[in-house]
Amino acid sequence: MTRLLGPFLIYVVMFLGWTAVGLFMLLMPGRFGNLLHHNVGVFPEVHKADWGKKLFVRLVGAGFLAFAVHFGFGVANLTDQAR
């Protein structure tokens, strides 16, 4: 039982990471876009009136959340097969 706790915790951390990034992108798209702009320089600066950039960030965030759900179901299927 203790040996299974290591891989389980890795999957939990991965799931929480994808979910946290997706929620951050959905709830605060301007702040996330500016975070990418100032730290990495791969996204243009987001102003209050930039609805297109915010929409793009929100769509990518929804994709991250969809991937997190898909990832969770995949891990659940793995645990069902292991029994």
Euclidean distance between the first and the last CA atom of the chain, given in angstroms as a whole number:
13
Q: Identify the three-state secondary structure at position 40.
A: coil
Band the pLDDT of 79: cuts 50, 70, 90: confident
Determine the pLDDT at residue 33: 94
pLDDT tens digits, 24-53:
999 999 999 999 999 998 889 999 999 999
Determine the pLDDT at residue 7: 80
* Poorest-pLDDT segment among 21-25, 54-58, 59-63, 77-81: 77-81
Whole-prediction pTM: 0.84
Rg (CA), the chain: 17
Supply 33's token pair: 């876009």
Spatial distance between the Cα atoms of 22 and 26, rounded to a whole number of angstroms: 6
